[in-house]
């Protein structure tokens, strides 16, 4: 069956309206923010003063609450303004509001004005507010902005501010370009490739290290306590309400299957395709000559070569359906001629075409009997989502009556799972991965306080879960006696690494003389390995090498030797070849680099402008008011 587009669980519940709301909220929260429109001002206390403008405490609080609401959807209902303050969210909001005021003052000083006519034209040209016929739809405009919590006046005011900012910043962006020497220098730096010959000395090959006594191991255990500390573990009770648990109980009638098939009929149609060749020339006279030669019996490819100087590869358009041919004249012609026949010359904006169809694959319609089982599963899954949504509401009602998550789960016959210990990586105390556990559950478990319930959370199209944190065991240093053998093993590995690095340094000194890499390889009874060509980021390597070795190799000149170590091995390397970057060979990467540099330049200019205006206008922040806001 052709792939039927699936929606996530959240998408099914949100629907189109909320998606538009979210899109508008994200749009509106730019440099200008939306705080002005969330609620009326609550107080006249100024959080900050920028020139002649002020940021009120109400404006600041509204903006912070908006951000908290957005983050709560991700981090859960326990995310508060206080937590946002601890995470630096409030500071970012204040900086954003200050920058908004700074740009507004700058625009006013330059005498920039956005007329109502311009705003009207811009809004009318916005595709979100157009009907299917492509014209502005007043009803759609009103419904869309209302879903975002805005009225017409507030939306227009917001839109005008954004246009004013764009106009203000365009004055410094206009005409900016990136110096060619800068582009060339960075491109060559980033895209130079090197390869190397190297020796790998495994640390495990280092023997004859004296055994550590008890006192040494105990000190090593203490000095490296972080390495031997067990992570935080949490005990949780987990309740999952999953689609897979109820999908087999969902009834799907033959009528529903038939209706779904009829609704999706186009998904089961495979259009006719044709394998097409073409000879393209610039004038009618030449195309007529080519057509006459082919009709006289001369081969299509031979005529193309002789009269149009076109090779075989240039003739192939590929296997296409009608909609994949963008020029109507060619599509109509290609799908009107028979297999292994040619068309008369066809004119298009590109020139004159003679088409040949070499293979036709008829359209195909998959019948209901072929897709019935898959359609039934799909419908059952969709109905299960609705059923699960209703069950989740019932479950929340049970919780609201004062029941624990366990008691409420038992009433509705939901599965209850006890996990006695889980760390932030989803592993138990034996360091084994806990099975059948969505990563989102682990994340929520470690964002929920002890003796608290998490929010009822959906995860993808699978269903819901809620959990209770029964206990938290803080990170603890594992007792020496219980992990003595592990401590001894780690100590030995560290000693081997130290000895290996000293050995490598000694070998490097010898290689500065008459000794060669081959001599060292023979002495150590190991082979010389060769790498593929790679960038200084390591991209292109066919083997994992330590970053220190790669960095040293790109700093090396000539045939000097470099070295670096990983956890298990030490390496000695020497440049095998250097491939300089060719700017003419990769126009796409060069264009991306130019755009990145241009954006960086404009960002730097914007920052400098902000700093200059900030200094000129004067910015004062009422720290006491900020502290008392939440």
Per-residue model confidence as pLDDT tens digits over 385-404 = 778 788 888 888 888 898 99
Q: What is the mean pLDDT of residues 345-359?
A: 91
> Would you state the pLDDT for residue 549?
95
Least Cα distance to 567 among 498, 515, 509 occurs for 498
Percentage of the chain modeled with pLDDT above 90: 42
Higher per-residue confidence, 38 vs 262: 262
φ/ψ of residue 616, rounded to 5: -70, -45
pTM (2 decimals)? 0.51
> Would you state the pLDDT for residue 160?
81
Q: Is residue 140 part of a domain?
A: yes
Name 411's Cβ contacts closer than 8 Å, sequence gap at least 6. 398, 403
**Domain range for 511:** 193-228+483-579
Name 102's Cβ contacts closer than 8 Å, sequence gap at least 6. 50, 610, 613, 614, 617, 619
Cβ contact 393:408 at 8 Å: no
Residue 577 tokens, joined: 């070849």
Same domain for 335 and 220, yes or no, is no
Whether the per-residue pLDDT at 69 is higher than 80: the answer is no
Same domain for 161 and 200, yes or no, is no
- The CB-side HSE value for 397 (13 A sphere, CA atoms) comes to 8
The domain tally of the chain equals: 3
Q: Which residue, of 332, 362, 392, is where some domain finishes?
A: 362
Q: Which of 410-414, 415-419, 431-435 has the lowest mean pLDDT?
A: 410-414
Residue 607 tokens, joined: 């920052």
Quote the DSSP letter at residue 128: G
| Mean pLDDT taken over the chain | 84
> Would you state the pLDDT for residue 237?
96
Strand partners, 565: 570
Residue 518's CB is within 10 A of a number of other CB atoms, namely 11
Q: Is residue 69 part of a domain?
A: yes
Same domain for 220 and 283, yes or no, is no
Burial of 356 (0-12, 13-18, 19+ CB in 10 A): buried
> Would you state the pLDDT for residue 177?
80
Strand partners, 477: 229
Q: Is residue 316 part of a domain?
A: yes
Burial of 16 (0-12, 13-18, 19+ CB in 10 A): exposed
Cα angle, residue 625 at apex, residues 622 and 627 outer, rounded to 5°: 110
> Would you state the pLDDT for residue 130?
82
Q: Is residue 453 part of a domain?
A: no
Q: Is residue 508 part of a domain?
A: yes
φ/ψ of residue 578, rounded to 5: -120, 125
Q: Is residue 608 part of a domain?
A: no
Same domain for 102 and 213, yes or no, is no
Q: Among all chains, which residue has been given the structure tokens 């359209």?
A: 363
Residue 156 pLDDT level (bands cut at 50, 70, 90): confident
Q: Give SS3 for 420.
A: strand
DSSP string, 88-105: THHHHHHHHHHHHHHHHH
pLDDT in tens, 474-521: 999 999 999 999 999 999 999 999 999 999 999 999 999 889 999 999
Treating both helix axes as pointing N-terminal to C-terminal, what angle do 214-223 and 484-511 enclose, rounded to 10 degrees? Answer: 90
Same domain for 134 and 278, yes or no, is no
> Would you state the pLDDT for residue 9?
34
Same domain for 76 and 160, yes or no, is yes
Burial of 521 (0-12, 13-18, 19+ CB in 10 A): middle
Cα angle, residue 587 at apex, residues 581 and 592 outer, rounded to 5°: 95
Same domain for 42 and 142, yes or no, is yes
Cα separation of 402 and 396, whole Å?
A: 10
Cα separation of 91 and 86, whole Å?
A: 9
Q: What is the mean pLDDT of residues 16-39?
A: 34
Q: Is residue 224 part of a domain?
A: yes
Residue 62 pLDDT level (bands cut at 50, 70, 90): confident
Residue 115 pLDDT level (bands cut at 50, 70, 90): confident
Q: Is residue 340 part of a domain?
A: yes
Q: Which residue, of 315, 343, 362, is where some domain finishes?
A: 362
């Amino acid at each position: 069956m052709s792939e039927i587009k699936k929606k996530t669980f959240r998408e099914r519940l949100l629907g189109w309206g909320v998606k538009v709301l979210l899109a508008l909220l994200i749009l509106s929260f730019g440099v200008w923010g939306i705080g002005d429109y969330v609620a009326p001002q609550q107080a006249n206390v100024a959080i900050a003063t920028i020139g002649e403008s002020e940021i009120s405490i109400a404006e600041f609080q509204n903006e912070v609450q908006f951000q908290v609401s957005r983050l709560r959807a991700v981090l859960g209902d326990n995310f508060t303004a206080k937590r946002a303050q601890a995470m630096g969210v409030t500071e970012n909001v204040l900086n954003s509001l200050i920058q908004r005021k700074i740009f507004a003052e700058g625009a006013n000083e330059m005498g920039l004005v956005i007329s109502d006519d311009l705003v009207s034209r811009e809004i009318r040209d916005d595709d979100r507010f157009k009907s299917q016929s492509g014209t502005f739809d007043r009803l759609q405009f009103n419904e869309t902005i209302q879903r975002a919590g805005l009225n017409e006046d507030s939306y227009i005011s917001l839109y005008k501010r954004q246009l004013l900012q764009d106009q203000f910043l365009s004055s410094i962006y206009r005409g900016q370009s990136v110096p060619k020497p800068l582009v060339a220098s960075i491109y060559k730096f980033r895209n130079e490739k090197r390869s190397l010959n190297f020796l790998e000395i495994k640390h495990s090959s280092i023997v004859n290290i004296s055994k550590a006594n008890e006192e040494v191991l105990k000190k090593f255990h203490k000095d490296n306590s972080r390495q031997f500390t067990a992570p935080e573990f949490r005990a949780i009770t987990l309740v999952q309400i999953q689609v897979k648990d109820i999908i087999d109980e969902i009834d799907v009638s033959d009528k529903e299957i038939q209706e779904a098939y009829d609704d999706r009929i186009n998904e089961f149609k495979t259009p006719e395709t044709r394998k097409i060749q073409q000879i393209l020339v610039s004038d009618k006279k030449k195309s007529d000559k080519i057509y006459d030669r082919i009709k006289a019996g001369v081969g299509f490819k031979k005529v193309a070569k002789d009269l149009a100087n076109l090779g075989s590869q240039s003739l192939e358009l590929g296997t296409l359906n009608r909609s994949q041919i963008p020029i109507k004249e060619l599509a109509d012609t290609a799908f009107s001629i028979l297999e292994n026949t040619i068309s008369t010359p066809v004119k298009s904006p590109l020139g004159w075409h003679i088409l040949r169809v070499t293979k036709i694959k008829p359209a195909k319609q998959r019948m209901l009997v072929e897709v019935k089982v898959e359609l039934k599963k799909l419908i059952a899954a969709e109905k299960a989502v609705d059923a699960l949504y209703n069950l989740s509401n019932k479950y929340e009602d049970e919780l609201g009556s004062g029941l624990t998550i366990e008691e409420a789960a038992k009433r509705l016959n939901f599965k209850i799972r006890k996990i006695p210990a889980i760390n932030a990586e989803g592993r138990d105390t034996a360091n084994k991965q806990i099975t059948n556990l969505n990563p989102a559950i682990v994340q929520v478990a470690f964002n929920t306080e002890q003796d608290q319930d998490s929010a009822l959370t959906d995860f993808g199209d699978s269903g819901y879960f809620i959990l209770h944190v029964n206990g938290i065991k803080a990170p603890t240093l594992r007792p020496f006696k219980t992990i003595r053998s592990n401590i001894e093993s780690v100590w030995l590995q560290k000693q081997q690494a130290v000895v290996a690095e000293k050995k490598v340094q000694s070998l490097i000194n010898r290689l500065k003389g008459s000794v060669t890499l081959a001599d060292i390889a023979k002495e150590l009874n190991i082979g010389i390995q060769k790498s593929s060509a790679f960038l200084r980021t390591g991209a292109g390597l066919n083997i994992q090498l330590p970053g220190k070795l790669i960095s040293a190799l790109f700093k090396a000149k000539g045939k000097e030797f470099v070295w670096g170590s990983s956890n298990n091995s030490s390496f000695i390397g020497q440049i095998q070849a250097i491939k300089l970057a060719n700017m003419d060979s990769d126009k796409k990467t060069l264009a991306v680099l130019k755009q990145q540099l241009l954006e960086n330049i404009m960002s730097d200019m914007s920052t400098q402008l902000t700093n200059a205006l900030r200094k000129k206008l004067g910015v004062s922040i009422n720290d006491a008011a900020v502290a008392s806001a939440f």
